[in-house]
Structure 1
Amino acid sequence: MKKLLVAVAFLGCLSAFAQTEDIDITPNNSWLKAGITAGIPLGDAEDFSSFALGADVRGQYLFNPNIAVGVASGYTHYFGKDNFEDIGIIPAAAFFRYYFTPDGLFFGADVGYGFLTNVDNNSGGLYLNPQIGYHNEDWNFYAYYQNTMAENDINIQNIGVGVTYNIRFK
């Protein structure tokens, strides 16, 4: 059921985005974001991991100066502790951001599916990643809470900080 809800939400976001008329992709409204994250595992994840390090990649379209949507992916690596294996999460998500001003505070959230790596009998589950941060024309600095509600009632969570650089389309 979780997979169905994620798929419907993701496709709904994409279809709403695709039906917008007169989309003009320019360096002023569309760019890639690439960066890193670092976090401390929580919940089920803190039982087997001591640290999470990740890569964050996004494609963003700015509808107006305040509202942006896009797709998000990357990779979060959970370093194993106490003889546990390392695991990873690869998200496939849609994201929304609200920018209060051209430089300053933003709120955002990613919603999608988190694919687990190096885990037997569990492919992943619902992926949520709310964020609050500061942005300017080139950089985004943010705090986040990441949760993948995987199969077999396993919640893989971490709380941390991230930074991304905006790569403008030319």
Structure 2
Amino acid sequence: MKKLFFAAAFAAIGLVGVNAQTGVEGTVHVGIPVGDTSDVSSFNIGVDLAYLHPIANNFKLGGKVGYDHFIGKDLKVNGNKVYKIDDVGFIPLAATAKYEFNNNIFVGADLGYAFSTKDGIDGGLFYQPKIGYSAPTWDLYAGYKGINAGPEDTNTVDWKYNAVSVGFAYKF
């Protein structure tokens, strides 16, 4: 069921982008895990595809889909590797908003759900506030990403995957 939902959502966002030929942004981003996430992950990397439609002067609203990957750490005792924590991937599906000020500075936010690609981990709430610089054909931003996800076993505490990230978006 999850896979069917992914395919339908990805196709819908893709069709909107193909028909509009404007407002489509492709993003690559890298991040450093923070909080408890830094105990189990050493790096975060991902890609996004978004469609932003102008709603009012300087304000755009749309949707995005992507892939976010948290690289697992090696746990060491006395300098010896004792355990390798698995990588974890997520597919965020979110609404996205962006307000551009007159001096090309913008603030934005993404809010949605991140589906886990790893067995044994459920997806969860995805959010990402960001601030950046917007040029005619590209954006550069810094943001804070949060994914509230946890093990499928409901008897254990949820885990949060958090990162401070920078991203580069190309506007098609």
TM-score bin (small chain): 0.7 to 0.9
Give the Cα separation in 2 of the matches to 1:141 and 1:49: 24
2:150 is aligned with 1:133? no
Larger gyration radius, structure 1 or structure 2: 2
Q: Give the conservation status (yes or no) of the 8 Å contact 1:41–1:49.
A: yes
Query: CA shift at 1:26, angstroms?
Result: 6.4
Q: Which has the higher contact order (CA 8 A, sep 6+)?
A: 1
Give the Cα separation in 1 of the matches to 2:20 and 2:43: 38
- Scaled by the length of structure 2, the TM-score of the pair is 0.76
Aligned to 1:88: 89
Write out per-residue CA displacement over residues 15-48 of structure 1, whole angstroms, 9 at most, x where no aligned residue. Answer: xxxxxxxxxx866xx4210020000011232121
Write out per-residue CA displacement over residues 63-85 of structure 1, whole angstroms, 9 at most, x where no aligned residue. Answer: 23311000011111111111011
Amino acid at match of 1:79: I
Which sections of structure 2, spanning at least 5 residues, go unmatched? 1-18, 75-83, 151-156
2:78 is aligned with 1:79? no
2:114 is aligned with 1:114? yes
Give the Cα separation in 1 of the matches to 2:87 and 2:20: 40
Aligned to 1:17: none
Give the Cα separation in 2 of the matches to 1:110 and 1:117: 20
Among all aligned residue pairs of Structure 1 and Structure 2, give the percentage whose two residues are the same amino acid.
Answer: 37
Query: CA shift at 1:124, angstroms?
Result: 1.0
Runs of 4+ deviating beyond 6 Å: none
Give the Cα separation in 2 of the matches to 1:149 and 1:85: 18
State which of 65, 68, 78 in structure 1 corresponds to 2:60: 68
Query: CA shift at 1:119, angstroms?
Result: 4.3
Give the Cα separation in 2 of the matches to 1:153 and 1:118: 15
Query: CA shift at 1:89, angstroms?
Result: 1.4
Amino acid at match of 1:35: T
- Scaled by the length of structure 1, the TM-score of the pair is 0.76
Q: Give the conservation status (yes or no) of the 8 Å contact 1:128–1:148.
A: yes
State which of 4, 22, 28 in structure 2 corresponds to 1:36: 28
Give the Cα separation in 2 of the matches to 1:67 and 1:51: 32
State which of 44, 47, 69 in structure 2 corresponds to 1:55: 47
C-alpha RMSD of matched pairs (Å): 1.6
The 3 A distance-change label for structure 1 pair 53 and 145 is same
Aligned to 1:11: none
2:160 is aligned with 1:155? yes
The 3 A distance-change label for structure 1 pair 45 and 32 is same
Give the Cα separation in 2 of the matches to 1:149 and 1:123: 9
Aligned to 2:80: none
